[in-house]
Amino acid sequence: NAGVTQTPKFRILKIGQSMTLQCTQDMNHNYMYWYRQDPGMGLKLIYYSVGAGITDKGEVPNGYNVSRSTTEDFPLRLELAAPSQTSVYFCASSEREGTYEQYFGPGTRLTVT
């Protein structure tokens, strides 16, 4: 049982480049989330999904896109990378909302220069 896996672990992008952060979970969870973690700022929700084919914006969606074609996968796409997108990105999943815990992946550290 791998839980939530993310690739890559580290990436350096040049301004204007694009990339996709991969996220996969093997717990058959309907809910999946993308967060970014900036120093001293806690976690900010970028996008979330309540099931295959259904996604919605979180608190900081600008500059990102997502898709959810399967229950397992929830990739995050960065178009035209900017230095402000330098951060650590975490994918998470949960069985349901409310009292249910979220399971986090190990994170992707992205630097845009």
Residues lying near another protein in the complex (CB under 8 A):
4, 33, 40-43, 45, 48, 58-59, 90, 92, 97-99, 101-107
In the complex, least distance from residue 12 CB atom to another protein, rounded to whole angstroms:
18
State the nearest-atom distance from the C-beta of 6 to another protein, in Å: 8
Please say which residue, 26 or 59, places its beta carbon nearer to another protein.
59
In the complex with another protein, the residue whose CB is nearer, 72 or 104, is: 104
Least gap, CB of 15 to another protein (angstroms): 27
Query: How many whole angstroms from its chain centre is CA 57?
Result: 12
Strands 108-112 and 10-13: parallel
**Per-residue 3-state assignment (H helix, E strand, C coil) for 39-103:** CCCCEEEEEEEEECCEEEECCCCCCEEECCCCCCECCEEECCCCHHHCEEEEEEEECCCCCCCCE
At its nearest, how many Å lie between another protein and the CB of residue 7?
A: 13
Q: Which is nearer to another protein, 45 or 82 (CB)?
A: 45
Q: Measured between alpha carbons, how far is 48 from 51 in angstroms, rounded to an integer?
A: 9
